[in-house]
Chain A
Amino acid sequence: MNRRNFIKGSLAGGLAVAATAKTEKADAAAGTFGGYADSMGVLVDLTKCVGCRTCEAACNKEQGLPEPDKPFDDYSVFDEHRHGGLPRRTTEKEYTIVNRYEVEGREKPLYRKFQCNHCNEPACLTSCFVNAYTKTPEGAVIYNPKVCVGCRTCMIACPFYVPTYSYSSAINPVVKKCIMCYDTRLKFGRPPACVEACPQGVMTFGKRKDLISLAHKMIDAKPGKYVNHVYGETEVGGTSWMYLSDVPFEEIGFNTHLGPQPIINYVKDFLAIVPMVLTIWPALFTGFHLLATRKQANKDESNKA
């Protein structure tokens, strides 16, 4: 019996009196899920990327996404800026994109591929009140459009701003994001389409734990080549997609302030008070009521006598 199950069991027992479905909430408040041991992942060596956008094209084809506004060999997209002067981001039509970063002191620009990072303990999953998300043992974070209500809390919760929404649809708007090609490839042990299509071998597909040791070996093998950090190893509890870079991550659009805690940990302060309020409040406030009305009660009693 591991710690998670032990806590789950003891809480479930202790709170059986509190009844209802709240025990699972308490479980979420107590246990931490560290990710599946044998989950797969992808290591992205950003230093190798040349910005050819082949991965974008492969994703488009594999996922049956609509025709892009500009063809995939049009590199003027790297100069595009959206609202607020920010670089391109994933959309309901593009589950992965590559951005170009001019970095001071680096001879060539650096290209950064971006898609869902497939967290070990995903914020989208833990914030969803209809359980539309699943972290599969293979490592992918997949989504079930059939139960999605469209509250978009997952988009609020995702620290990487990954889930997008098909706002244009009135009848059946749903969340759109990279699912690591789960249905067509990952389930059968094959790497995602973008990984396979890359002509530069930027991405390595493998077991997440193996990729972590590989990444550290690569950093140690050529001192000074890489920044000594594997982005995604610890960020928000670890992600299935991880990155190596030769320039500091904050200079190429990565959020380096996310910290090692999964997002759900920030919510636990509240989740922990739920069973407390449910069990203590009734007795406490009935007591208040008896105290507050005791004069009246005494009067009634003496009138009767």
Chain B
Amino acid sequence: MAQLIRNPFNWILAVIYAVGLPLTIGRFIFGLGWATHSSYDYPWGLFLGWGLFVMVPLSASGFMLGTTVELFGRKDFKPIERLGLLNGLLGYFFAVVFLQVDLGQPWRLVYPMFVSLGPAAVLFLVAWHVATYLSVQIAELVPAASEFMGWIKPKKFIKSIVLGLTIAGIILSTLHQGALGALFTYAPGKVHPLWFSSAFQWFHFFCSSIFAGLSMLIVVSTLSKWFLKWRCDKTFLESLDRCTLGISKGASLALITYLVIKFIALAHDNNWGYLLTGWGQWYLFEITFGAIIPLALFTTAIRSNRAGLARLAAFFAVFGIALNRLNTALIAFNWNLYQEIPHWREAIIAIMVYATYIVVYRAVLYRLPILYTWKGDSK
């Protein structure tokens, strides 16, 4: 308890909950109209713009690390694999929490699964894949929990099917990360042409989720190193710099692919003219600070073997991906109508849900063998 009060971060959390909790309860009593600016023209606000479209790509680390370690057999990334998986699981779980805050009738969440099916819709795919993928991610983290609880059988079972789980993770991730982009292909005239390309939209979202997830993993591992050092074991701390640079290589490959595809999309739709407008400058700002600068930093870091620089790059890339998704979903959406600014209640509720994500994240890291290897593990 004394420790709880000593940590200044907990004070901030207390303030967030003191303000946010009544507002969140209010949203369910008075409705979305009270809490948000969701209008007829802008049906989606911060809850989905931030909670779904930003959080899901930042949580792609689960399938990326699973692929690296289990599928490509790169056991040298093992020390950071579980953090990657956890980052994925919690990110997805809280994306669903955000969705529940946003849905008009959240108690009908299972309707697309069991009650009334619309299988030709992109969102149907998102719903099913996120649900299935959540189960895959839980399964992938069963070993960590079973070590903590002292179970042996579940861990062995998961080990026997881990390749299947990993491949399922790749399939589901390819499709639902892409599907989040494809959702906007329903609004070809509403999203600004610089953020819209019906042919490439799904690939933009999928490809950028690769470096988004990897960069987020670098950010989280950095934060763990700073604030949770006592919980990390020697293996984690000693291999972190090497792992960070290894992950940076993956991230920079995805970044360069992303930039090339962005470039091709510009040429394919012949959108060069828009670059000279105000929207074009905003677009170039996003590309420069969110993709080109992180790419330059990542490659410099890899060449000069400086993990610190790679961490800086990761912060830029995470910022870039957040900006890109918010641009597509909110800022450049309805660009020829008017600009919608989220309601203050909406912003505070979003901050509170995100704070809950951080609290749960921290609580799991404190306890489960994520940052450290379980000592009493006897095969």
B178: interface (CB < 8 Å): yes
Set of chain B residues within 8 Å of A148, measured between Cβ atoms: 104-105, 108
Restricting to A22-58, which residues have a CB under 8 Å from any CB of B?
Answer: 22, 24-25, 27-28
Q: Which residue of the partner chain A has the closest CB to B126?
A: A129
A121 CA to B38 CA, complexed, in Å: 26
- Chain A interface size, under 10 / 10 to 19 / 20 to 34 / 35 or more: 35 or more
Contact A266 B117 (CB under 8 A): no
Set of chain A residues within 8 Å of B122, measured between Cβ atoms: 127, 129, 267, 270-271
Contact A258 B116 (CB under 8 A): no
One of A24, A168, A270 near B33 (C-beta < 8 A) = A168
A130: interface (CB < 8 Å): yes
Contact B186 A129 (CB under 8 A): no
Q: When A25-B120, A156-B43 are in contact, do A293 and B73 touch as well, CB less than 8 Å?
A: yes
Set of chain A residues within 8 Å of B188, measured between Cβ atoms: 263, 266
A68: interface (CB < 8 Å): no
Set of chain A residues within 8 Å of B40, measured between Cβ atoms: 89-91, 155, 161, 163-165
Set of chain A residues within 8 Å of B32, measured between Cβ atoms: 167, 170, 173
B231: interface (CB < 8 Å): no
B166 to chain A: closest CB distance in Å? 8
Restricting to A147-189, which residues have a CB under 8 Å from any CB of B?
Answer: 147-153, 155-157, 159, 161, 163-165, 167-170, 172-174
A115 to chain B: closest CB distance in Å? 14
Q: Which residue of the partner chain A has the closest CB to B205?
A: A270
A269 CA to B163 CA, complexed, in Å: 30
Contact B72 A289 (CB under 8 A): yes
Set of chain A residues within 8 Å of B166, measured between Cβ atoms: 285
Contact B185 A152 (CB under 8 A): no
Q: When A130-B116, A149-B109, A150-B108 are in contact, do A266 and B41 touch as well, CB less than 8 Å?
A: no
Contact A128 B121 (CB under 8 A): yes
B65 to chain A: closest CB distance in Å? 15
- Of A101-109, A241-249, A275-283, the segment with at least 4 beta carbons within 8 Å of chain B is A275-283
Q: Which residue of the partner chain A has the closest CB to B121?
A: A129
Set of chain B residues within 8 Å of A298, measured between Cβ atoms: none
Set of chain A residues within 8 Å of B340, measured between Cβ atoms: 83
Contact B121 A170 (CB under 8 A): no
Set of chain A residues within 8 Å of B38, measured between Cβ atoms: 152, 165, 167
Set of chain A residues within 8 Å of B71, measured between Cβ atoms: 285, 288-289, 292
Contact A281 B171 (CB under 8 A): yes
A10 CA to B81 CA, complexed, in Å: 43
B145: interface (CB < 8 Å): no
Q: Which residue of the partner chain A has the closest CB to B104?
A: A150
A2: interface (CB < 8 Å): no
Query: Using a Cβ–Cβ cut-off of 8 Å, how many residues does chain B contribute to the interface with A?
Result: 66
Set of chain A residues within 8 Å of B29, measured between Cβ atoms: 170
B202: interface (CB < 8 Å): yes
A296: interface (CB < 8 Å): yes
A79 to chain B: closest CB distance in Å? 19
B347: interface (CB < 8 Å): no
Set of chain A residues within 8 Å of B30, measured between Cβ atoms: 170
Set of chain B residues within 8 Å of A174, measured between Cβ atoms: 104
A286: interface (CB < 8 Å): yes
A234: interface (CB < 8 Å): no
**Interface flags, B317-343, vs A, CB<8A=1, else 0:** 000000000000000000001111000
Contact B182 A84 (CB under 8 A): no
One of A83, A84, A128, A274 near B125 (C-beta < 8 A) = A274
Contact B117 A130 (CB under 8 A): yes
Q: Can you name 18 extra interface pairs (CB under 8 A) apart from A255-B189, A269-B182?
A: A84-B337, A127-B121, A129-B122, A130-B117, A147-B116, A148-B104, A150-B105, A153-B121, A156-B187, A167-B31, A173-B32, A263-B188, A267-B185, A270-B202, A271-B182, A285-B170, A292-B71, A292-B72
Q: Enumerate chain A interface residues (CB-CB to B < 8 A).
A: 21-22, 24-25, 27-28, 83-86, 89-91, 123, 126-132, 144, 147-153, 155-157, 159, 161, 163-165, 167-170, 172-174, 255, 257-258, 263, 266-267, 269-271, 273-274, 277-278, 281-282, 285-286, 288-289, 292-293, 296
| Interface pairs A-B: 3 shortest CB-CB | A150-B104, A84-B338, A167-B33
